[in-house]
Structure 1
Amino acid sequence: MNAIRTFWLVLMLAASPAWAFQSRVVTIPSAAMHRSFDATVVLPDQYARGDKTKRFPVVYVLHGSGGDYTDWTANSHIGKLADRYHVILVMPDGGHESWYIDSPVDPRSRYETYVGTEVVTYVDSHFRTIATKQARAITGLSMGGFGALRIALDRPDAFGAAGSISGAVDPRGIAAERGIERVFGDPLQYADFWNSEAIVASAEDFGREHIALTIDCGVDDSLVQSNRLLHERLIELGVPHDYAERPGGHTWKYWSNAVKYQVLFFAGAFRQAAREMRDGHAAA
């Protein structure tokens, strides 16, 4: 009987998923907004079981409009990617309609400073990260796709790679949506701000700052045209980037599939940056 039980135990273990990532919720204070927000952090299995001095690159993944820090883990299998690519995943709370900007009209809404600076500082001080831009990436879906690209452009010393999934890359095209004017301001009165925040307006900076860039959007997504225009502008400027359109719309089915390709891209960017740093030190 013991032999039979042992046989079935071994069989079940062999058939079980190899993923052993650790997901936890942390509370991160914001001095800029005088409050604290929760964030989901996923650590790869190696973090606990391997060399306790080993440090890991970090991928920040932002939620979309109306979402929160639980969206990605609740609606996708993103946690598996931490083990697969040996990265730490951080999913901060960006508010329901913050657009991840420091609002020119609402001083209580400073989510770009929070996510781009305060969250990064907290994560680097509380986890074994490789605390360099070459080992940090940021991406997100929809509103979070815009936020990820905007934060990377405004903080090129913090992020060496950036991505967008179904990103609302040009807020000017959706100005009538509920909530967006509350943080961007009136489109006429704050026209200069609206124009400067559009990702296409700063597209050449991705190349100037050597930010590894990946963008994708579903062919049935209402935002695909603005993503195509950004892609075409990047080509005109000669800015290296990865661009993909796949079947699908503005849905979790699309996003949960797309994020796998984005984290794969980031893992490659981390390896490339590490090789370049090693080669540079060797040459020196």
Structure 2
Amino acid sequence: MTAVQTVRNRLLPILTALLLTLVPAAPTLAAAAPEALAGAAAQGGPRGDAEVVGVEQVGERLVDLSVRSPALGGRTVPVRLLTPDGWDARERGRNWPTLWLLHGCCGDYTSWTSATDVEDTDDLRNVLVVMPEAGWNGWYSDWWNFGAGGDPAWETFHTDELRRLLESDWGASSNRAVAGLSMGGQGALMYAARHRGMFRAAAAYSGAAHPLLNDESVNRIMGFFAGQGDDPRRVWGDPVDQRAIWQAHDPYYLAKKLKSTPVYLSCGDGTAGPLDPPGARDALEADFNRQNEALADELKRVGAKRVITNLYGPGTHRWAYWERELHASLPMLLDALKVR
């Protein structure tokens, strides 16, 4: 019996509760856009394209877009922008280097601004930061849905619909980098590998870097897939029967496609670190640490040109570490964007 075949023979644990406390609840978007942005809310492409149907200024530099997406079955989802100095939604012809920040499981598009100091980071005042909604447990994937595809298609929404919309109407350039935590760390690595050339650098903080590593890793991610009552096979299928789909979304098996992309990997080992209460233990972070070690070794084996690893030992699955690691990785990300 192979490592993953045991998945068929026992009930997969639902582990999403591990992350429920990581991010605060999201506020509801206001129905009306402020006057300065109201005209921009109607912007969108021809029928069938994603379109912005609402805009709200929620901070001095924060703008929330409500985007109706065909890839998500016509649903409207929010996207948060942290805008650079001098940005104006009404201005055309000026485009900004763009950093995509991806949230983790059980989080949402507000996570980065709610839980970190990203809004006050001076190094990001010349960059358009895109923080898209990706579903409570969407996994940055076009779901298999037992071979039927369709809603949700998060990867298509982000890398096609939203990308084109932001670059046509909202000041984003094709000069992009991507970073994310946990589920979003996996998403950052997947997007950079599966859409080669789309992102000039990728950073993953406590990311699910090799879901097929062993039984524990497979069971854990299937538990996340089952969040909110979903059948876990909807996302990538069965880990045995649809193994090719799993491998196509596993950064370890995509390592060759990351050879020319600067990559930053960081993770703790699940024991109490300097930003934890005494005696803290975290099996999730320990698993992800092993996954990141495996990916780092595989990137080295395939000859990746630039990989920075900070597998920092003691530390759990907490925002305090991800905020720290964002700052540690910014020199690499901004160098790739040529804004330093």
TM interval, short-chain normalised: 0.7 to 0.9
- Work out the CA distance in 1 between the residues paired with 2:61 and 2:135: 24
**Conservation of the 8 A alpha-carbon contact between 2:194 and 2:257:** no
Give 1:57 deviation, angstroms: 0.4
2:277 corresponds to 1:234 = no
**Conservation of the 8 A alpha-carbon contact between 2:92 and 2:169:** no
**Conservation of the 8 A alpha-carbon contact between 2:82 and 2:129:** yes
Give 1:53 deviation, angstroms: 6.3
**Conservation of the 8 A alpha-carbon contact between 1:65 and 1:143:** yes
Query: Equivalent residue for 1:205?
Result: 257
Q: Which runs of 5+ in 1 are unaligned?
A: 1-19, 275-284
- Work out the CA distance in 1 between the residues paired with 2:241 and 2:122: 44
Give 1:84 deviation, angstroms: 4.2
Query: Equivalent residue for 1:25?
Result: 64
Query: Equivalent residue for 1:266?
Result: 333
Query: Equivalent residue for 1:108?
Result: 151
Task: Give RMSD over aligned pairs.
Answer: 2.3
Give 1:83 deviation, angstroms: 5.0
**Conservation of the 8 A alpha-carbon contact between 2:177 and 2:336:** no
- Runs of 4+ deviating beyond 6 Å: none
Please give the per-residue CA displacement for 1:99-122, whole angstroms capped at 9, x wherever unaligned: 011112252121011111112112
**Conservation of the 8 A alpha-carbon contact between 1:149 and 1:164:** yes
Q: 1:84 to 1:67 in 2, by over 3 A?
A: closer
Query: Equivalent residue for 1:42?
Result: 82
Give 1:200 deviation, angstroms: 0.9
Give the SS at the match of 1:119: helix
2:107 corresponds to 1:86 = no
Q: Which has the higher helix share?
A: 1
Give the SS at the match of 2:223: coil
With normalisation by structure 1, the TM-score equals 0.80
Give 1:82 deviation, angstroms: 6.1
- Work out the CA distance in 2 between the residues paired with 1:22 and 1:227: 34
Give 1:67 deviation, angstroms: 1.0
Query: Equivalent residue for 2:176?
Result: 136
Query: Equivalent residue for 2:265?
Result: 215
With normalisation by structure 2, the TM-score equals 0.67
Which of 315, 323, 330 is matched with 1:248 structurally?
A: 315
Give 1:206 deviation, angstroms: 1.1
> Which residue identity does 2:308 align to in structure 1?
D
Q: Which runs of 5+ in 2 are unaligned?
A: 1-58, 227-231, 271-284
**Conservation of the 8 A alpha-carbon contact between 2:141 and 2:155:** yes
Please give the per-residue CA displacement for 1:231-282, whole angstroms capped at 9, x wherever unaligned: 011111220211112342110111111111223321111228x9xxxxxxxx
Please give the per-residue CA displacement for 1:165-186, whole angstroms capped at 9, x wherever unaligned: 1101122323441425231222
